[in-house]
Amino acid sequence: MSIEHLVLRVVIKILFAPILLFALYVQFHGDYGAGGGFQAGVIFAVAFILHALIMGLDETKRVLPAAALKAMMVVGFLFYAGTGAATMLLGGNLLGYDAIAPNSDHNEGQHYGILLVEFGVGMAVASTMLMIFYQFAGREPEIRDEDW
């Protein structure tokens, strides 16, 4: 039997998990500083894009359907906005993370706030990147009239 692109298939299977791990590393590295969520999200999405390039889009969609991506986009965004709104309910201003841990002497609240917000950013970016990829890769060559 012969399988197309056997070497590539084996390599992507080996690489898949380390790429996700690297994404998580970027995500949680330097958790006192803002930033990192966007890059982590892109790296996370890259693993799946690589999978789709080699295994075919349909295989990837079986793992991660477009409907799930849509939900992930929303949940990721809500992590961000929800953290901001939660600080309002805790007595701070919008995105005033100090309200999360008001008694801390080293702004521990900022730490948790940034962690939560960046997690939301990573999730939203990863799912949005993949959604864009799905839309372009899954496009039909000619748009039929009834699709309008």
3-state helix, strand and coil shares in percent for the chain, rounded to the nearest 5: 75, 0, 25
| Alpha-carbon dihedral 127, 130, 58, 61, rounded to 10 degrees | 0
Q: Is 50 or 66 the residue whose CB approaches another protein more closely?
A: 66
CB nearer another protein, residue 4 or residue 147: 147
Q: Which two tokens stand for residue 109?
A: 């609240």
Question: What is the closest distance, in whole angstroms, from the C-beta atom of residue 70 to another protein in the complex?
Answer: 7
Shortest approach of another protein to residue 148 CB, angstroms? 5
Least distance to another protein, CB of residue 133, Å = 19
Nearer to another protein, 46 or 117 (CB): 117
Q: What is the DSSP string of 94-106?
A: TT-GGGGSTT-SS
- Are the C-beta atoms of 114 and 32 separated by less than 8 Å? yes
Cβ of 40: how many Cβ atoms within 10 Å? 25
Residues that bind another protein (CB under 8 A): 70-71, 73-74, 77-78, 81-82, 84-85, 88, 91-99, 148
Among residues 62 and 70, whose Cβ is nearest to another protein? 70
